[in-house]
Amino acid sequence: MVAENGTEKTNQEETNNVLKSTQTVIHKALEKLGYPEEVYELLKEPLRMMTVKIPIRMDDGSIKIFTGHRAQHNDAVGPTKGGIRFHPGVTETEVKALSIWMSLKCGIVDLPYGGGKGGIVCDPRDMSFRELERLSRGYVRAISQIVGPTKDIPAPDVFTNSQIMAWMMDEYSRIDEFNSPGFITGKPLVLGGSHGRDSATAKGVTICIREAAKKKGIQIEGARVVVQGFGNAGSYLSKFMHDAGAKVVGISDAYGALYDPNGLDIDYLLDRRDSFGTVTKLFNNTISNKELLELECDILVPAAIENQITKDNAHDIRAKIVVEAANGPTTLEATEILTDRGILLVPDVLASAGGVTVSYFEWVQNNQGYYWSEEEVEEKLEKIMVKSFNSIYDTAQTRRVDMRLAAYMVGVRKMAEASRFRGWI
Ligand code: GLU
């Protein structure tokens, strides 16, 4: 099983800050665009939030009650869309913030969706295959009224994968009494999944790295790359950078980090990695995640969890470009410090939008019942990511704002306009 994103845990205070920072940047972006305050009032929280209790019979015969959430941020543009994470650190606030980021991502890559997000408080690392199946099906039954191919379309996220999507699709199809592949994306190919979905987030990040490197005059060939997190995004990305001739000098998982100034043997590490992206436990001479982030390199890619680059370590980052493959790895204070230091920061809502872009392709293919080749998917993703990167880069230059604010400005615009045309504000 391959999990969609990175690992580790975040605490309540950190997630509250994550939501607050998102709201702060949305407010700034709307102000810059000249929208009145009520637009902010509409967009600062999800339109809908559902919390459910899911009773599951465990393998030992006991019953355990799990808590799940689903947030639907804004559906003015179209149905909401976004992943489901299985993680012990999931909170209502985190799911809310993540749904807002999904809206921004969809706005940035110009998809006909708003943002949604789901999460179940659980630790899949301690659960059996069958327990996970029962939990996945139970969650779909609990939220079935508010989701659907034209309402809200889930996908993988932290610690969920194509097998979990398959169970969820099957459960929804039974409830709907129709085969409904368009209910969820990130499915296995044989159930209507799309070519290129598994590696889509990393492909999008790779395109952003290439475009950012051009702006900074850095050659990818021989560039030193550090990747924090070896989940879906981090592992594929390390492979793509390695294959493009870059030197991946550092990688990490939830338990530690590996460093080799001559470049790590990425193929070996991929081979030894477990389904949750863990690999460093096999080595003795590891370094800490903190040391990893402060390594001298050309490109640093935080691909794990929130709040990794903060005001405490932003001054010690020695990369020329930081590309956020994870959701929310850099705080607002740190964004300012990095930007002031001349480091080009490519924000999460742009860099990680490749995943939802190919999810959209998957949904389109499901709706039309006609499937595309891998080349077609790649070509379409490439076009969208290059265009989105450049429109945000240009906005940052012309409006003299950092890349994060520029991305939010591009991301909220369509949502705000659609809400206005619908007569909501
Ligand atoms: N979970 C991914 C994200 O955060 C993908 C969402 C999707 O494909 O709908 O962007």
Q: Residue 131: which CATH number?
A: 3.40.50.10860
- For the CA of 186, the nearest atom of ligand 1: 8
Tell me, what's the pLDDT at 11? 65
Tell me, what's the pLDDT at 14? 75
Based on the fold, state whether residues 211 and 322 are members of the same structural domain: yes
Based on the fold, state whether residues 303 and 230 are members of the same structural domain: yes
Based on the fold, state whether residues 205 and 334 are members of the same structural domain: yes
pLDDT digits (tens, 9 = 90+) for 207-253: 999 999 999 999 999 999 999 999 989 999 999 999 999 999 999 99
pTM, entire model: 0.94
**SS percent in the chain: helix, strand, coil, step 5:** 50, 15, 35
Substitution candidate for ligand 1 out of 70, 84, 102, 162 with most atoms within 8 A of CB:
102
- Residue 171 domain-assigned (yes or no): yes
Among 342, 361, 396, where does a domain finish? 342
Based on the fold, state whether residues 107 and 141 are members of the same structural domain: yes
- Residue 379 domain-assigned (yes or no): no
- For the CA of 98, the nearest atom of ligand 1: 4
Q: Distance from CA of residue 296 to its chain's centroid?
A: 26
Based on the fold, state whether residues 225 and 285 are members of the same structural domain: yes
- Residue 60 domain-assigned (yes or no): yes
Among 146, 179, 212, where does a domain finish? 179
Give Rg (Cα) of the chain.
20
Substitution candidate for ligand 1 out of 100, 106, 305, 356 with most atoms within 8 A of CB:
356
CATH code: domain of residue 258 = 3.40.50.720
- Residue 270 domain-assigned (yes or no): yes
- Residue 410 domain-assigned (yes or no): no
- Residue 4 domain-assigned (yes or no): no
Based on the fold, state whether residues 215 and 329 are members of the same structural domain: yes
Based on the fold, state whether residues 279 and 236 are members of the same structural domain: yes
- Going by alpha carbons, the residue nearest to atom 7 of ligand 1 is 356
Q: Quote the number of domains for the chain.
A: 2
Range of the domain at 80: 46-179
Helix (H, G, I), strand (E, B) or coil at 102: helix
- Going by alpha carbons, the residue nearest to atom 8 of ligand 1 is 356
- Residue 357 domain-assigned (yes or no): no
Query: How far apart are the C-alpha atoms of 118 and 424, rounded to whole Å?
Result: 25
Query: How far apart are the C-alpha atoms of 83 and 292, rounded to whole Å?
Result: 28
Residue 268: CB atoms within 10 A of its CB come to 10
Based on the fold, state whether residues 205 and 131 are members of the same structural domain: no
> How close is the Cα of 411 to the center of ligand 1, in Å?
15
Task: Provide the Cα torsion 395, 401, 405, 408; round to 10°.
Answer: -20
Query: How far apart are the C-alpha atoms of 327 and 282, rounded to whole Å?
Result: 27
Stretches in the chain below the pLDDT threshold 70: 1-11
Based on the fold, state whether residues 213 and 94 are members of the same structural domain: no
Based on the fold, state whether residues 174 and 236 are members of the same structural domain: no
- For the CA of 85, the nearest atom of ligand 1: 1
Based on the fold, state whether residues 58 and 137 are members of the same structural domain: yes
Strand ordering across the sheet containing 224-228: 256-259, 247-253, 224-228, 299-302, 321-323, 344-346
- Beta carbons of 407 and 345 less than 8 angstroms apart: no
Closest CA to 44 of 412, 421, 378: 412
- Residue 104 domain-assigned (yes or no): yes
Residue 216 annotated among the catalytic residues of the structure: no
Closest CA to 318 of 294, 342, 338: 294
Among 342, 377, 392, where does a domain finish? 342
Based on the fold, state whether residues 265 and 165 are members of the same structural domain: no
- Beta carbons of 238 and 253 less than 8 angstroms apart: no
Helix (H, G, I), strand (E, B) or coil at 282: helix
Query: How far apart are the C-alpha atoms of 186 and 166, rounded to whole Å?
Result: 9
Pocket of ligand 1, beta carbon within 6 A: 4, 81-83, 105, 155-157, 185, 327, 352, 355-356, 359
- Beta carbons of 220 and 245 less than 8 angstroms apart: yes
- Beta carbons of 187 and 149 less than 8 angstroms apart: no
